[in-house]
Each structure stands twice: as C-alpha cells, then as structure tokens.
C-alpha cells in the first residue's frame, strides 16, 4: 500500500484502511531485511503491507512456482529470476544478497557445506523426456545399442539417467553433455535420440519441428522415492529472525506449486506469465508448465526424500546433516 501523505482524523483513517482491506483478495503478508543491515534479515522484518523491505529471493529462469510468487505476491517478495541459474542463485544466497533461493540437489548440498542454511521444501521432481526424430524409439528398450545424447552432465540428472538404464537392463551409449549442448544438437538435427529434463526438453523441441517427445524416461524409475529437481533453501539467520514470515512463505510457495498442477491452474498461469512478459507464446509456455513435474514436500516428508536422494547421488561433497531440514 502507498503511504498516506497527510494525516487524517483517526476515524477517517480507520475507515479508509478497512475499505482498502476489503478490496484485496487476501491480506498482504511477508517481509524482509532492515535496510543497511550487515547481513540479510538478522532482525525482525518490517511490515510488508506498507510496501517496506520485500523478502529477497532468487530462482532459475524456468522456475515456475517462483515466477508465480512474483506475480501473486509482489507486495511481499522480490524474485530475481531473469538470467539466473541454480548455481548463480546459490552464489547469491552465500553472498547474503537474498534470503531464500531455489536450488538443485547438488547446489543445496554445496551451500549447506559453506553456510548456515535450512532446506525448507521440495518444489519439483526430475522428469526426463526422450526427444527423437526417429520412428523406432518408442520405449526404453528400443534404445538398446543406440547412441543417446543426454543433458545434465556431471549433475544428479546424470546419476538418475544412468540408474534408469542400468535398472532396466538397457545397454545404450549414453553421451552426457550440458543441456544447452543437447538442445543445440536437436536444433541442428544431428542427433536422433536425446534425453533432457523438463521443461528444457519442451523448449528444445520448439527449435526443430522434426522432433517429438516420444516418452517419459522417468516413467521407468524403479525406486520408491522420487528424484528431486528443485528445493528451497533459506539462510538460517533469516529463518530464526522471521519464523512467522517463513511459515507464510511456505504456505505461499505451496499454493503456487499446487496451482501449477491443475489443468485450470496451468492455463490461468500461462496467461499470466505471458502477459507479464516472463515467457513468449501461450502454447509453448503451457506445454512447458505441463511437462514439469511440480511437487511439494516439507518437514518429515522432505527430510526422508532428500536423504534418499543424497544417498543415491553420492556427491563428493558430503550430504547435509539432518539438522539442515526445516521442521517448522
């Protein structure tokens, strides 16, 4: 809300406040650090209902829940996403430039090894697609003996891909590259079979109409837990100083995730994203939203799934201790 430039009588001011409040869909919530504080949010945040000190967050460009957060609750959160990757978001968190960030499994472990943080929630799981310009690659078994270019080199996605092929007894030549390198092969048409994590796969296909999404590779996943794609990490000093705001944030981000999971919500959010200039093209954006495996896990469920993922990942960096998981 804007500050009043003049002071009215108490009854008039109260009437105006009540009138304005009745026009909002929900009460404004959130907050963030005191200006010029030595670190991010080491003291209780100011009241965001008056437009003061938004909570600073960072998320990768294609992180749809955080994009939705920036639209629905712009009064409370400053979301930096344009040009951001998980690695750069992690760096911003380490440098106290943001209080909350959306990170990959490995970047969350990296940050936890260098700073005092809490993992708040999981917001998406890995979904891999087989992208092909061939007619025979209709299932995983059909890839046996073939060369498959896979994104996610040296990341947890590579671990997931290798495990799926191994567990299903499919022997293929898996060539791991960065997502952008695989996308370039799709654009040029030089690779028949490729595997990319969504929504990157949808955007890659849009560059060459000869390619299709043949099937979901993670449909062959055999573990009783799901591989994690994104999790939300917050600085512990911010969590400790603002426990109520953290609870509100978690409610907000869960709402954003759940909204993206429904057909009606996906269509509604597609329109909002395009109107806000976040993404170009309604059809492409809707396809990307629907391809992403949005999921929300917190507290004990969060801890259980993250521990299972870190056990599978086998990173050189030790997995975070049990105390890093936020229990609310």
All structural domains of the chain, each given as residue ranges with its CATH number in brackets, are: 30-124+228-282+299-324 (3.40.190.10), 128-220 (3.40.190.10)
Give buried/exposed letters for 86-118 (b at 16+ CB in 10 A, else e).
beebbbbbbebebbbbbbbbbbbbbbbeebebb
Give the residue-averaged pLDDT of 115-121: 97
* Token code pair at residue 285: 């954006």
Mean pLDDT throughout 28-51? 40
The Cβ-side half-sphere exposure at 104, using a 13 Å CA radius, reads 20
- Whether residue 189 contacts residue 132, with contact meaning beta carbons closer than 8 Å, is answered with no
For the record, the structure tokens of 35 come out as 């200006």
Indicate whether 110 pLDDT > 60. yes
pLDDT of residue 108: 96
Give the tokens for residue 278. Answer: 């976040």
Q: Are 73 and 100 in contact (CB under 8 A)?
A: no
Whole-model pTM: value is 0.83
Instruction: Say which range, 46-55, 120-129, 150-159, 262-271, has the weakest mean pLDDT.
Output: 46-55
Sheet containing 117-125: give its strands across.
Answer: 77-80, 55-58, 100-103, 228-235, 117-125, 293-298
β-pairing verdict for 228-235 and 117-125 = antiparallel
Question: Residue 148, SS3?
Answer: strand
65 vs 231: CA distance, rounded Å? 11
Write the pLDDT tens digit of every residue in 229-264: 999 999 999 999 999 999 999 999 999 999 999 999
pLDDT in the model for residue 52: 63
3-state class of 285 per DSSP? helix
pLDDT at 35: 32
Once rounded to an integer, what is the mean pLDDT over residues 41-50? 46
Q: Transcribe 230-262 into DSSP letters.
A: EEEEEEHHHHHH-HHHHHHHHHHHHHHHHHHHS
For the cut 60, the answer to whether the pLDDT of residue 158 exceeds it is: yes
Averaged pLDDT, 82-104? 97
Instruction: Calculate the average pLDDT of the chain.
Output: 86
The answer to whether the beta carbons of residues 186 and 207 sit under 8 Å apart is: yes
Name residue 148's beta-bridge partners: 174
Does the bond joining 199 to the residue before it have cis omega, within 30 degrees of 0?
yes
């Amino acid at each position: 809300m804007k500050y009043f430039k003049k002071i009215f009588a108490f009854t008039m001011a109260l009437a105006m406040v009540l009138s304005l409040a009745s026009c909002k869909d929900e009460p404004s919530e959130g907050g963030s650090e005191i200006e010029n504080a030595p670190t991010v949010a080491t003291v209780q945040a100011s009241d965001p209902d008056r437009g003061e000190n938004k909570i600073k967050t960072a998320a990768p460009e294609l992180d749809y829940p955080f994009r939705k957060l920036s639209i629905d609750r712009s009064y409370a959160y400053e979301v930096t996403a344009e040009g951001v990757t998980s690695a750069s978001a992690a760096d911003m968190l380490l440098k106290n430039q943001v209080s909350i960030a959306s990170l990959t499994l490995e970047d969350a472990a990296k940050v936890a090894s260098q700073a005092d943080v809490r993992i708040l929630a999981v917001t998406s799981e890995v979904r891999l697609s087989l992208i092909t310009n061939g007619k025979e690659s209709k299932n995983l078994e059909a890839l046996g003996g073939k060369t498959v270019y896979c994104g996610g080199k040296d990341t947890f996605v590579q671990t997931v891909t290798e495990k799926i092929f191994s567990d299903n007894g499919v022997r293929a030549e898996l060539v791991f590259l960065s997502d952008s390198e695989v996308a370039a092969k799709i654009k040029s048409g030089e690779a028949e079979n490729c595997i990319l994590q969504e929504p990157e796969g949808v955007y890659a296909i849009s560059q060459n109409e000869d390619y299709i999404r043949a099937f979901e590779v993670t449909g062959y996943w055999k573990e009783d837990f799901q591989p994690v794609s994104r999790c939300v990490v917050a600085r512990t000093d911010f969590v400790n100083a603002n426990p109520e705001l953290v609870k509100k944030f978690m409610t907000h981000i869960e709402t954003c995730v759940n909204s993206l999971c429904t057909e009606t919500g996906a269509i509604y959010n597609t329109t909002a994203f395009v109107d806000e200039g976040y993404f170009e093209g309604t059809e492409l954006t809707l396809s990307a939203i629907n391809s992403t495996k949005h999921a929300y896990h917190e507290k004990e469920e969060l801890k259980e799934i993250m521990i299972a993922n870190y056990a599978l990942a086998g990173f050189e960096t030790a997995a975070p201790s049990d105390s890093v998981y936020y229990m609310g």
